[in-house]
């Protein structure tokens, strides 16, 4: 028998031994779960039987409380254990299918023999819990698998580090408990494994990449020294996947002091949230909190106001003329200097210029805005604006208590009392007699209740510092800058209680600085995906909202689709504002076949820096049509043919949502079932989808068909990046239709790999 066959047999035998151990642990765990479940049910059923309730004497009351607390804690501990056992059971089921994917043999300096370290999605001990059969991929020793080729290597420990030599680095393909492939490799995860993984069809949900993490991705995952980590990765470089593995790593490393509830992911849209929702559960971790910036601002919006979505904002600017008033305003409202300008404006308001609201009670002005302004500016100028507002609020609360007492015996209170229902009278009677308050009659209590109800909205306004007219202060800011046209455009929107997308971040930033909004102290880490589409003030707003957190920004300046990003600003490429900020650049694209990557990188400046992975596939095709009728006929026939011969997801991508609706309608008329993706879509339902570019961001499809890459659709400089973003969604096949003259960005491009 050859050495190769011998090793294969040995690895197969070891795999079966490990799976046998997993199955034994599963059976034992199932018995423990059943017993624990019975304990929990019994504790719930007999809870009061085992609690001595005696309220006769103070000592008896204390003893009763202690008995109840002890019983409740026991039940809580059993329920926690039951949940933990269930989680362990899920992990064992995942391990049973594919226990491990890699191995290194490491000989520590001073030792004569190497230790075989098998690496999987979770750790597994032998039946005596003495030796590791599998090491979790996040364990310090496992980092060598991703970072080193055979030869000298080291890994970190609490004592500093361990050095030695990797004598073997091996990868496995294990499916359904069977060894299907095995090969030795060097520094990077071997091409055989990547070819196997990347050649598969796309999935409705992103998958874990722990088996194929590359060295540069591992630097992203395990980085802990930087408060702000910027990951600038080209399309398909795995930056989002690496970020989610980073979440799993941080939860593993800091399990004692951090959980998924301490992290937030800001993603581009609800569909993306669903797309990535399975990665962490696959690794045995809970999902972190996921939201979009739009959803966050929506929660802060005052009642009756409408906030433009970023998608409506995009649609507007994709169809609007460049030199409109709003376009000029956009440049100002998203400029990198806006934060500093707002700081200067806030500084000026310390001395003068704050605009207050009249406070009303019973239909009349109770305290006028001029009175509020006068009182505010009589306070010490060295006290911050939020702290002076606190003092104003205390003054108002004192005055309100006096006003309450004065109002109790006025005629309007008598009228209100006559309208009270019997239930209110009954509660007042019980309250007087329960508190033995002989000095307060039921009538007095009811008068107090009526007045308190009437002043309650005013009291809430005071407590919320809703004394300031933030809308007017925000408009005044642009006048203060001598941008009167921009100010009037904002006035028009605000009069209709409409807030444009570009106004949300600066408006709420200004409000927070004035009112002193409490920070989210429990959030330890935030992740911002597609960060290239954030303006400087949006990032500044989040930094102020989460001052105690570490931040990971992920994106690609070449996939910027928002109008303000065409000016060249991106938080991904600005100079570091802090010393503990670091940028990691990922230049290798894994998503698309080599012919697609070689084609798409010609679309953008400096595209030659992008490295393609050597995975074969058909060349992208540019298909020209001369009329709308021919265009629809040809594209429909193409899609129909693809559905028959190319299993997997097919995306027809348009520039705007209006165009997506048109394409979807005539595909439906041809009898082709397609899903129209809109800003509210949260899941894929069909294998054929129609969607605009901005909703395809961060997602991948087996086949991409660009509906119309003609010059009348993509001719401005910012269109270059829209087209690049659309094309880079394709994994295996890419087709670009042009109704008329092709876009200048693809004219003359080589379609050869």
* Distance (Å, whole) CA 623 – CA 636: 13
Which residues of the chain fall below pLDDT 70? 1, 36-83, 85, 187-209, 320-323, 422, 424-440, 563-570, 572-579, 750-753
Tell whether 183 and 103 lie within a shared domain: yes
Length of the chain: 753
**pLDDT tens-digit map of 357-367:** 999 998 899 99
- What is the reported pLDDT for 634? 93
Q: Has residue 703 been placed in a domain?
A: yes
- What is the reported pLDDT for 567? 45
The DSSP code sequence of 377-408 is: HHS-TTS-HHHHHHHHHHHHHHHHHHHHHHHT
Tell whether 199 and 224 lie within a shared domain: no
Phi then psi dihedrals of residue 269, to 5 deg: -165, 165
Q: Has residue 312 been placed in a domain?
A: no
**pLDDT tens-digit map of 241-289:** 889 889 999 998 898 888 999 999 999 888 888 878 888 887 778 888 9
Q: Are 544 and 520 in contact (CB under 8 A)?
A: no
* Distance (Å, whole) CA 267 – CA 113: 48
- Among 544, 572, 589, which residue terminates a domain? 589
Tell whether 128 and 214 lie within a shared domain: no
- Among 574, 589, 604, which residue terminates a domain? 589
- The enclosing domain of 641 has a CATH number of 3.40.50.300
- What is the reported pLDDT for 436? 47
Tell whether 170 and 24 lie within a shared domain: yes
Q: Has residue 437 been placed in a domain?
A: yes
Tell whether 53 and 200 lie within a shared domain: yes
Binding-site residues sit at: 233-240
Tell whether 707 and 732 lie within a shared domain: yes
- What is the reported pLDDT for 58? 57
Tell whether 184 and 217 lie within a shared domain: no
Q: Has residue 749 been placed in a domain?
A: no
Q: Has residue 504 been placed in a domain?
A: no
- What is the reported pLDDT for 382? 95
- What is the reported pLDDT for 592? 93
**pLDDT tens-digit map of 719-728:** 999 999 999 9
Sign of CA dihedral 62, 64, 68, 73: positive
Residues spanned by the domain of 564: 210-303+519-589
Tell whether 574 and 645 lie within a shared domain: no
Binding-site residues for ATP sit at: 233-240
Q: Has residue 651 been placed in a domain?
A: yes
Q: Has residue 10 been placed in a domain?
A: yes
Tell whether 30 and 164 lie within a shared domain: yes
* Distance (Å, whole) CA 223 – CA 527: 14
HSE-CB at 689 with a 13 A cutoff on CA atoms is 28
Tell whether 199 and 229 lie within a shared domain: no
Tell whether 527 and 624 lie within a shared domain: no
Tell whether 22 and 159 lie within a shared domain: yes
- What is the reported pLDDT for 266? 94
Which residues contact residue 275 at a Cβ distance below 8 angstroms, ignoring those fewer than 6 apart?
A: 204, 205, 206, 698, 699
- What is the reported pLDDT for 521? 81
Which residues contact residue 334 at a Cβ distance below 8 angstroms, ignoring those fewer than 6 apart?
A: 502, 535, 536, 537, 564, 567, 569
pTM of the model: 0.84
Residue 202: count other Cβ atoms within 10 Å of its Cβ.
23
- Among 447, 464, 481, which residue terminates a domain? 464
Q: Are 106 and 163 in contact (CB under 8 A)?
A: no
Q: Has residue 17 been placed in a domain?
A: yes
Domain count, the chain: 4
């Amino acid at each position: 028998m050859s050495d190769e066959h011998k090793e294969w047999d040995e690895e197969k035998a070891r795999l079966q031994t490990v799976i046998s151990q997993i199955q034994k642990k599963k059976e034992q765990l199932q018995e423990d779960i059943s017993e624990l479940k019975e304990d929990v049910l019994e504790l719930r059923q007999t809870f009061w039987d085992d609690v001595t309730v005696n309220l006769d004497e103070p000592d008896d009351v204390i003893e009763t409380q202690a008995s109840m607390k002890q019983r409740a804690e026991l039940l809580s501990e059993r329920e926690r254990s039951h949940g933990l056992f269930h989680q362990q059971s899920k992990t064992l089921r995942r391990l049973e299918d594919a226990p491990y994917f890699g191995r290194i043999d490491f000989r520590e300096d001073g030792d004569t023999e190497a230790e075989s370290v098998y690496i999987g999605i979770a750790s597994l001990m032998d039946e005596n819990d003495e030796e590791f059969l599998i090491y979790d991929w996040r364990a310090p020793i496992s980092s060598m698998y991703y970072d080193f080729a055979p030869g000298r290597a080291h890994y970190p420990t609490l004592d500093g580090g361990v050095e030695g030599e990797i004598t073997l680095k091996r990868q496995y393909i294990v499916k359904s408990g069977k060894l299907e492939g095995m090969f030795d490799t060097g520094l990077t995860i071997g091409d055989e494994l990547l070819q196997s993984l990347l050649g598969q069809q796309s999935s409705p949900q992103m998958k874990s990449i722990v088996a194929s993490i590359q060295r540069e991705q591992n630097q992203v995952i395990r980085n802990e020294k930087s408060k702000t980590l910027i990951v600038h990765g080209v399309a398909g470089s795995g930056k989002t996947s690496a970020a989610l593995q980073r979440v799993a790593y941080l939860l593993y490393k800091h399990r004692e002091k951090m959980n998924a509830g301490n992290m937030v992911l800001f993603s581009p849209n609800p569909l993306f949230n669903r797309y990535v929702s399975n990665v962490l559960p696959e690794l045995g971790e809970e999902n972190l909190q996921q939201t979009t910036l739009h959803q966050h601002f929506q929660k802060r919006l005052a009642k009756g106001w409408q906030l433009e979505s970023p998608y409506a904002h995009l649609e507007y600017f994709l169809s609007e003329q460049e030199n409109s008033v709003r376009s000029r305003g956009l440049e100002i409202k998203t400029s990198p200097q806006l934060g500093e300008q707002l700081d200067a404006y806030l500084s000026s308001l310390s001395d003068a210029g704050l605009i207050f609201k009249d406070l009303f009670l019973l239909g009349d002005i109770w305290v006028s805005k001029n009175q509020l302004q006068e009182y505010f500016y009589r306070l010490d100028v060295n006290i911050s604006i939020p702290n002076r507002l606190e003092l104003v609020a205390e003054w108002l609360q004192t005055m309100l208590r006096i006003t309450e007492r004065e109002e109790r015996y006025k005629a309007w209170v008598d009228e209100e009392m006559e309208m009270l229902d019997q239930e209110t009278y009954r509660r007042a009677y019980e309250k007087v007699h329960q508190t033995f308050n002989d000095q307060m009659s039921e009538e007095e209590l009811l008068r107090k209740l009526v007045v308190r109800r009437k002043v309650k909205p005013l009291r809430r306004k005071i407590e919320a510092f809703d004394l300031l007219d933030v809308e007017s202060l925000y408009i005044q800011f642009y006048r203060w800058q001598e941008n009167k046209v921009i100010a009037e455009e904002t006035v028009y929107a605000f009069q209709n209680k409409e807030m444009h997308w570009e106004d949300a971040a600066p408006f709420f930033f200004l409000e927070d600085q004035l009112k002193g909004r409490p920070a989210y102290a429990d959030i330890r880490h935030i992740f911002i995906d597609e960060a290239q589409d954030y303006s400087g003030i949006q990032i500044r707003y989040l930094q102020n909202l989460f001052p105690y957190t570490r931040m990971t920004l992920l994106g690609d300046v070449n996939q910027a689709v928002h109008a303000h990003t065409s000016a060249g600003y991106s938080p991904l490429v600005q100079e570091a504002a802090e010393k503990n900020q670091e940028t990691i650049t990922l230049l290798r694209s894994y998503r698309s076949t080599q012919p697609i990557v070689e084609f798409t990188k010609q679309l953008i400046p400096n595209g030659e820096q992008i490295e393609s992975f050597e995975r074969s596939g058909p060349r992208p095709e540019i298909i020209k049509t001369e009329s709308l009728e021919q265009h629809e006929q040809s594209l429909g026939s193409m899609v129909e043919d693809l559905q028959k011969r190319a299993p997997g997801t097919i995306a027809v991508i348009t520039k705007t949502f209006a165009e997506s609706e048109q394409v979807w309608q005539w595909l439906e008329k041809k009898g082709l079932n397609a899903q129209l993706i809109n800003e509210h879509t949260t899941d894929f339902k069909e294998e054929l989808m129609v969607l605009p570019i901005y909703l395809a961001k961060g997602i991948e499809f087996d086949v991409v068909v660009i509906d119309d890459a003609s010059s009348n659709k993509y001719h401005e400089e910012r269109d270059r990046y829209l087209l690049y973003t659309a094309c880079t969604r394709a994994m295996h096949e890419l087709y670009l239709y042009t109704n008329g003259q092709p876009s200048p960005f693809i004219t003359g491009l080589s379609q050869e790999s």
